[in-house]
Amino acid sequence: MTPRITALSLALLAATAMTPAQADTSDKRIALSNNYAGNSWRQAMLQSWEKVAEEAVGEGVVAEADAFTTAENQVTEQAAQIQNLILQGYDAIVLNAASPEGLNGAVREACDAGVTVVSFDGIVTEPCAWRIAVDFKQMGKDEVSFLAEQLPEGGSLLEIRGLAGVFVDDEISAGIHEGVSEHPDFKIVGSVHGDWAQDVAQKAVAGILPSLPEINGVVTQGGDGYGAAQAFRAAGRDMPIIVMGNRHDELTWWKEQKDANGYVTMSVSIAPGVSTLAFWVAQQILDGADVPKDLTVPFLRIDQDNLEDGLANTEEGGVANIEYSLDDAKEVISAAQ
């Protein structure tokens, strides 16, 4: 079972001072290749990267740590971006990938050119790359397990998926469906893509609601809970239990409903600051550390009893987060060895 981490403990971890590198990587250049920036999670991810990377450059840990985001979530565009980063002479590429398999050719080119590739969140399957991920499938199963606790007689579920074709979307959805198979009193009666964005999710849910029976629960992927709630309210439908995704607007709405009528749910997501863990992992590989190819970090879960702390430690318009230090990265690496 994945450990539950309160937003308060996350804030304390985030305050940990970064430790300078033990060996010299001061002439190394690291680039972030990101495929998408169209929601609050991705924006927070980029902000975390910028904050930690700028500090590392300022302290002379690395020479450069630039971030690049493609204009469209297209495999071909990100593959071209990776090829350009190779030509520009970066020593490492930290990659949030548009596809687990579609970028393998470009990743292989990078490895063959001596470039270290560390993928995170949207990981790649090319064996030469490193991978940092939470157990997204377990995250989906945990959503259904929570609903089974709250709704022991089961019921009808609406699934809101993320960005089509991306590893994260596929894994969370697979976990949700596995969870439903383990709790056969539940049935998924509708599914839409919300692209991990409140406005997209609201429109998609509003479009499908007229064709659906009474909905008892909504399983989500993050960034979509508040939009779903708005769609249910606008349609005059009974409010189901909507799993939230650690966004400030979701937590704020949940707190309002909790205070007004005792509304109960849970919230779960991967921390946007996982990009900073990937940065330090890349730095450690360049530093000569023995790093396992696959690293796992816990997802962030907020429950009824720590909602207030979670909300208080989440910036308006942002996402519950943690930014990793070099020491944190070393601990993650050590735990995987």
**H or E stretch covering 241:** strand 241-242
Strand partners, 118: 94, 130
**Cβ contacts of residue 100 below 8 Å, gap of 6+?**
122, 123, 124, 125, 167
Q: Is the pLDDT of residue 121 over 70?
A: yes
Q: Give me 337's structure tokens.
A: 């060895």
Q: Give me 296's structure tokens.
A: 């796992």
pLDDT of residue 23: 55
Spatial separation of the C-alpha atoms in residues 265 and 75, rounded to whole Å: 36
pLDDT in tens, 34-50: 998 988 899 999 999 99
Q: Is the pLDDT of residue 74 over 60?
A: yes
pLDDT of residue 10: 42
Least confident among 2-11, 15-24, 62-71, 145-154: 2-11
Q: Give me 1's structure tokens.
A: 């079972």
Which residue shows structure tokens 């979307």? 169
**Mean pLDDT throughout 140-163?**
97
Query: In the CATH hierarchy, which fold is given to the domain comprising 136-269?
Result: Rossmann fold (3.40.50)
pLDDT in tens, 6-33: 443 444 344 333 344 345 899 999 999 9
Spatial separation of the C-alpha atoms in residues 136 and 117, rounded to whole Å: 21
pLDDT of residue 165: 83
Determine contact, residues 61/20, Cβ cutoff 8 Å. Answer: yes
Which residue shows structure tokens 């690293």? 295
**Cβ contacts of residue 125 below 8 Å, gap of 6+?**
100, 101, 104
pLDDT of residue 12: 38
Q: Is the pLDDT of residue 5 over 50?
A: no
Task: For the chain, give every residue range classified as CATH 3.40.50.2300.
Answer: 15-134+271-301+320-336, 136-269
pLDDT in tens, 279-320: 999 999 999 999 999 999 989 999 999 999 999 999 999 999
Q: Which CATH number fits domain 15-134+271-301+320-336: 3.40.50.2300, 3.40.50.1000, 3.40.50.2000, 3.90.79.10?
A: 3.40.50.2300
pLDDT in tens, 234-269: 999 999 999 999 999 999 999 999 999 999 999 999
**Mean pLDDT throughout 119-143?**
95
